[in-house]
Amino acid sequence: MAVARQFQGPIDLHAHSSVSDGTETPAELVRAASAAGLGTISLTDHDSTAGWAEASTAARDEHLTLIPGMEFSTRVQYASVHLLAYLFDPADSALLAEMTRVRAARLSRAEQMVARIGMDYDLSWDDVLAQTTPDATVGRPHIADALVARGHALNRSAAFADILHWKAGYFQPHYAPDPLRAIELVRAAGGVPVIAHPATRGIGDVVSESRLTTMAEAGLFGLELGHRENKPEPTARLYELAAKLGLLVTGSSDYHGTGKPNRLGENTTAPEVLERIIAEGRGSAPVYG
Ligand code: AMP
Ligand code: FE
Ligand code: FE
Ligand code: ZN
């Protein structure tokens, strides 16, 4: 007998709070999701689960379903690959060690980038700290906000197109594990891994058929093909590969508050797919608010 679904739709499985580079607190994000008419939201801050508790409380208040998640930074040479992870154990020691290492690398990398930018622009590390919450996962968006506050850019997007663009010469990569290892870590922690925005520019090689086959064998659950930054041609190719390899397809907004134009619920995930994620997630439980 089929178990009745406990979650509500529409379902948006990718959103950021001020625990990383979103502009709203976890509770504000959950309230915004409710106001946008969503029934289920996943909080997927970069490399951190620090917002889960606050988001859970807000989800109960708002009668919204919360899927605890994270967007885990991984890397193949110079290509940054984001791995969404759902319903994993936030206390798993191997995963936690890698998250801690990535967050430390992000911090020193941001400090180094700001030191270099500071040679050409009036910008200090304190300017960046003023744009982050305590213990937030620091990223280029915070540097962008500091550049905006100093009047060097009009908004985040403009800062990314100009001073933070790799062509400007200030960009630096940071340590992150290989996606294959990240998939194994997430599965070992009881989580469900999905490659975020896999058809964006720059990660074409990473999602080749041979690499995807290896990742599927290692436990990759799916591909986030519903995302505004995916390009049409590689997206069409990945739909075919997903069908061939048995990977499921998700869609989500990647909402960052006022930090990005992405709107909550602009892409959504099918209930059947969320049902599978919940069935496979063993490290933590959804909050049925
Ligand atoms: P980082 O991980 O520090 O290299 O920064 C990458 C993050 O910057 C991504 O997670 C995005 O949220 C954000 N980002 C990338 N491009 C843009 C853009 N054009 N406008 C605003 N945010 C962006
Ligand atoms: Fe982000
Ligand atoms: Fe991402
Ligand atoms: Zn994201």
Residue 237 pLDDT grade (very low, low, confident, very high; cuts 50, 70, 90): very high
Residue 187: CB within 6 Å of ligand 1? Answer: no
Distances 33 to 165, 197, 275 between C-alpha atoms, Å? 31, 20, 20
Q: What pLDDT was estimated at residue 149?
A: 98
Q: What pLDDT was estimated at residue 1?
A: 52
Q: How far is the CA of 21 from the centre of ligand 1 (A)?
A: 8
Residue 204 confidence (pLDDT) above 90: no
Domain 11-99+175-288 listed as CATH 3.20.20.140: yes
Q: What pLDDT was estimated at residue 120?
A: 98
127-184 pLDDT, tens per residue? 999 999 999 999 999 999 999 999 999 999 999 999 999 999 999 999 999 999 999 9
Single-letter amino acid code for the residue at 111: E
Which region among 79-88, 104-113, 117-126, 200-209 has the lowest average model confidence (pLDDT)? Answer: 200-209
Residue 58 pLDDT grade (very low, low, confident, very high; cuts 50, 70, 90): very high
| DSSP one-letter string for the chain | -PPPP---SSEEEEE--TTTT-SS-HHHHHHHHHHTT-SEEEE--BT--TTHHHHHHHHHHHT-EEEEEEEEEEEETTEEEEEEEES--TT-HHHHHHHHHHHHHHHHHHHHHHHHHHHHSS--HHHHHTTS-TT----HHHHHHHHHHTTS-SSHHHHHHTTTSGGGT---------HHHHHHHHHHTT-EEEESSTTSTT-TGGG-HHHHHHHHHTT--EEEEE-TTS-HHHHHHHHHHHHHHT-EEEE---BBTBTSSPPTTSS---HHHHHHHHHH--SS--EE-
Residue 254: CB within 6 Å of ligand 1? Answer: no
**Neighbour-count burial for 179-193, b at 16+ CB within 10 Å, e otherwise:** bbebbbbbbebbbbb
Q: For a ligand 1 pocket test, name from 109, 114, 140, 258 the mutation site with the most ligand atoms within 8 angstroms of its C-beta.
A: 140
Q: What pLDDT was estimated at residue 2?
A: 56
Q: How far is the CA of 154 from the centre of ligand 3 (A)?
A: 22
Residue 62 pLDDT grade (very low, low, confident, very high; cuts 50, 70, 90): very high
105-121 pLDDT, tens per residue? 999 999 999 999 999 99
Residue 141: CB within 6 Å of ligand 1? Answer: yes
Atom of ligand 1 nearest to the CA of 254: 12
Residue 21: CB within 6 Å of ligand 1? Answer: yes
Residue 256: CB within 6 Å of ligand 1? Answer: yes
- Alpha carbon nearest to ligand 1 atom 21, residue: 157
Segment 203-223 mean pLDDT: 94
Atom of ligand 1 nearest to the CA of 260: 21
Residue 232 pLDDT grade (very low, low, confident, very high; cuts 50, 70, 90): very high
What is the residue extent of each domain of the chain? 11-99+175-288, 107-161
Q: How far is the CA of 271 from the centre of ligand 4 (A)?
A: 21
Residue 45: CB within 6 Å of ligand 1? Answer: no
Segment 19-23 mean pLDDT: 98
Exposed, middle or buried by CB within 10 Å (0-12, 13-18, 19+), for 233? exposed
Q: What pLDDT was estimated at residue 137?
A: 98
Q: How far is the CA of 165 from the centre of ligand 3 (A)?
A: 16
Residue 5 pLDDT grade (very low, low, confident, very high; cuts 50, 70, 90): confident
Residue 75: CB within 6 Å of ligand 1? Answer: no
Residue 206 confidence (pLDDT) above 90: no
Distance CA 207, CA 137 (A): 26
Smallest-distance ligand from the CA of 175: 1
Domain 107-161 listed as CATH 1.10.150.650: yes
Q: What pTM did the predictor assign? A: 0.97
Residue 160: CB within 6 Å of ligand 1? Answer: yes
Residue 257 pLDDT grade (very low, low, confident, very high; cuts 50, 70, 90): very high
The whole-chain average pLDDT of the chain stands at: 96
8-19 pLDDT, tens per residue? 999 999 999 999
